[in-house]
Amino acid sequence: MLFESRRLIPLLLVAAAAAQPAAAQVPPAPATDYRARSPEQEIVYFVLPDRFENGDTKNDRGGLKGDRLTTGYDPTSRGFYHGGDLKGLTARLDYVQSLGATAIWFAPIFRNKPVQGPKGQESAGYHGYWVTDFTSVDSHFGTNAEFRTFVDAAHARGMKVYMDIIANHTADVIQYREATKDGYPYHSKADYPFSRRGGAGGPAINPGFAGDSDGSPANWARLTDSTYAYTPYVPKGEEHAKTPDWLNDTRFYHNRGNTDWKGESSQYGDFVGLDDLATEDPRVVQGFIDIYGGWIDRFGIDGFRIDTARHVNPEFWRAFVPAMLARAKARGIPNFHIFGEVATDLYDPALLASWTRNAGLPSVLDFAFMRAAVDAASGKTGSEELARLFDDDALYEGGKPAARRLPTFLGNHDAGRFGMFLKQANPAASSEELLARDKLGHALMLTLRGVPVIYYGDEQGFVSDGNDQMAREDMFPSKVAEYNDNHLIGSNSSTATGSFNPDHPLYRTIAELARIRRSTPALSEGTTRVRASSDKPGLFAVSRFDPASGREVLLAFNTSASAISANVAVDPASGSFTALAGPCPGAAIAPGSVAIQLPPFGYAICAAKD
């Protein structure tokens, strides 16, 4: 959530020529078909509405009057609203679909607190994660009616709509009477039990409350005093700042001070002041079932990405997820996709998988894939972690088939962009090398198991100077100096001009890879067998198998700066191949073996013939 000419050039030109597809225009899928698609059949485009397209300048200030600290609008500052909205997103659906996306996931569009933060450090809720009204669209983005228009327009094209939701926290409204030179440090349950005011030695409060592990309504009705750790209060004038109104009661929050991101505080602490909800309380559980079930009922959306999922108690998700799936099924949405954010910068599939087993999340964002793919494509490591990924898929609830529904990605609005990671790992790389590595990374994502997520702007070579605000550039002409001075990959343009070029080499490559994926069931639904990997940059190869026919599709990638020639094992029945992309052998050199030749950073997608 809150949390940018060498000896290789001749070979790189060969790689570019081998992998460069023609520009693709994707016809809309039949609208009657989209609900039947399973999650692993999707290709997702992730966008921040504020940074995508400004379709209505009249809502730039959200209907508010005053300077940027009141309206939240300052298109020259990366921490404030820039003017993108739902009308703009709707107008650009053709651009998104022509890239090959079948689903669009967007950052939260709920009404936010326009501006918050300490004096001199204020920023705006342009990103959508500082919610005050969970039932309405933020007026900076438009209206509920305009959201319906967007959803209907996407559905008419056969595209699915995934909402980004939050249950961990709201905007920062609740304040504490106590303050220290360090602000509001976290107060633990051991030192500040629910049964005493202001610490273990304080006066008795909340008689009969058996602790928050007892989720019965009768138990939580006994928690009537919120002053166990701090003395929370709602500032004058903000008594009804949140909607639904139950969210204005301090009893429904943890009120233990700011998290230090470790241990108990990771679940109970405030994220830099954001009001942390007591999701153990059954009234909070039911409240969010009602809130988000309402969005399914009213708009017929197709899935939820859950922000900060790992900072909410697992019991909450075990109640919430089945309720949402049932609500969606009743609305005629049989393949409602729910995936949670369990953020980590490490290769740690065990952590990710634990939230599918312990919390019952159907899927999680695949941070393990991100780590392995970015490190391999950048040349930072070999491909051993990529190869290991498919064995580790057995850890997820539902095993390897469930892992095919994990959203995979190369960068995002929190961690930073893939282009930035490539530049950081290769500071002396030529522009040709960076483009070739960028294509290679997207080839990995769009052909390996999982649900590919394209982060908006990556198809235009955005790079970012860092994470968070620095990785949230504008697609429409930007006025932010820190964005406009970036050297984009694959283009001599900048973010100062509009960035919707369908002829950008990355746009064209992604569109062609998406076309291949959609027309090749082995790439979205097939099993995986690793054929070659190494602890150093070089050949990485896997076979994917068609779920109906069992026919093999061989994928080969060269993560090194040198051309490679090697024999790769295949199924003995795979005697000849059709090249779907890149240089493929026409036939096996012997039953069970093919000769692969790839230029630096090249890749090949080779389908076995009947």
Residues labelled as active-site residues: 307, 341
- C-alpha torsion angle, residues 50, 55, 58, 61 (rounded to 10): 0
- Which residues are 579's β-sheet partners? 606
Q: How many CB atoms lie within 10 A of CB 20?
A: 13
- Residue of 139, 140, 161, 158 lying closest to 150 (CA atoms): 161
CA distance 226 to 313: 19
CA distance 150 to 224: 43
Q: How far is CA 191 from CA 164, 194, 195, in A?
A: 35, 10, 11
DSSP helix/strand/coil, 333 = coil
The answer to whether 194 touches 211, Cβ cutoff 8 Å, is yes
CA distance 125 to 138: 10
Q: How far is CA 543 from CA 370, 391, 568, 570, in A?
A: 20, 14, 10, 7
Scanning 331-366, the segments in alpha helix (DSSP H) are 349-357
The answer to whether 95 touches 500, Cβ cutoff 8 Å, is yes
Q: How many CB atoms lie within 10 A of CB 478?
A: 23
- Strand segments, DSSP code E, in 369-487 are 407-408, 451-455
Angle (CA) 288 397 277, round 5°: 25
- Residue of 264, 252, 260 lying closest to 291 (CA atoms): 252
CA distance 264 to 594: 54
366-394 burial, b at 16+ Cβ within 10 Å, e below that, comes to bbbbbbbbbbbbbbebbbbbbbbbbebbe
DSSP helix/strand/coil, 482 = helix
The answer to whether 476 touches 72, Cβ cutoff 8 Å, is no
DSSP string of 229-265, one letter each residue: SS-EEPPTT-TT-SBSGGGG-GGGB----B--SSTTH
Scanning 72-223, the segments in alpha helix (DSSP H) are 86-91, 93-98, 144-156, 217-220
The answer to whether 484 touches 495, Cβ cutoff 8 Å, is yes
Q: How far is CA 426 from CA 83, 157, 419, 422, 443, in A?
A: 35, 40, 11, 6, 19
Q: How far is CA 116 from CA 166, 194, 233, 243, in A?
A: 18, 29, 17, 18
Q: Running DSSP on this structure, what letter comes out for residue 27?
A: P
Tokens of 377: 């494509």
The answer to whether 80 touches 74, Cβ cutoff 8 Å, is yes
